[in-house]
Amino acid sequence: MYIEIDNVSKMYNQHSGNSVKALDGAKLNIEKGEFICLLGPSGCGKTTLLNLIAGFEKPSAGRITINGEEVKKPSIKNVTIFQNYGLLPWRTVQGNVELGLELLGLERKRVKEIAMEYIELVGLSDFRKHHPYQLSGGMQQRVAIARALAVDPDVIFMDEPFGALDAMTRMKMQDEISNISEQKKKTILFVTHDIDESVFLADRIVIMTPYPGRIKSIINVPLARKRDRTHADFLAIRDKVFMELEMKEKDKLEYYL
């Protein structure tokens, strides 16, 4: 197994003096190239689990390995994409995509070539001289994706990356990241609380529940890409997810309001 999460728990001490069990006995194995969505309501430990695998936090108990090596700190082989894009405002689109490649110490000509390739992949060739403030939210997130992919990472961590986007842009970005994951076969861990997003993107959906944060179940999504959000098979898996999350009819209605 490529990533092994072996009985991992995480306690946080809060200001009040109480401690919170953000994650309780998580067990999960992930294969190379899999697209995994961590899905569940707010507070169920999705971000905690992502941060533990990415090495930003240390487990209180249990062990995480990537490619056989215990995760002890963030690795330059992995990248994280956040909701707020994390772009440098004083750099152009091209400058932002080049950043990671510069940090890898590649020669200038190669840096430029690779950056151009990924700017094209995300459809921003005409905007490479623009600065982030001149771009829409969706375009800024595409720059962040191009920058992340350009360094050819082993694992991409995405924490609600489309959470700040409007519904239309969000669906477009879901299409793009789904296409990219198919083309580039990257291992992706993606946090979301959006059921449709998880069914659209994931090879497997890891369903989490809160108090304490636990992995409740894992649902396979054996649908070919590019997925049709209105197809009966898509809707059947979505219903299964609703059931696993123990959403009653009333909750389902609220989810859509």
Contacts of 244 (CB under 8 A, 6+ apart): 207, 216, 217, 219
Residue found under tokens 């992706």:
188
Rg of the chain over CA atoms, in angstroms?
19
Is there binding between residue 44 and ligand ADP (CB under 6 A)? yes
Residue 23 or 93 having the CB closest to ligand ADP: 23
Residue from 240, 204, 239 nearest 221 by CA: 204
Q: How far is the CB of 232 from ligand ADP (least distance, A)?
A: 30
Q: Which of 6, 25, 32, 43 binds ligand ADP (CB under 6 A)?
A: 43
Could you say whether residue 213 binds ligand ADP (CB under 6 A)?
yes
Residues 102-141 that bind ligand ADP (CB under 6 A): none
Name the minimum Å distance from CB 247 to ligand ADP: 16
Nearer to ligand ADP by Cβ, of 44 and 99: the residue is 44
Give bridge partners of residue 191 from the DSSP assignment.
38, 159
The most distant pair of C-alpha atoms in the chain lies apart, rounded to whole Å, by: 58
CB of 41 to ligand ADP, least distance (A): 7
Sign of CA dihedral 11, 12, 18, 23: negative
Q: How far is the CB of 42 from ligand ADP (least distance, A)?
A: 4
Hey, which residues between 17 and 36 contact ligand ADP (CB under 6 A)?
20, 22
Structure tokens at 85: 């894009």
The residues of the shown chain that bind ligand ADP, judged by CB under 6 A, are: 12, 14, 20, 22, 40, 42-48, 213
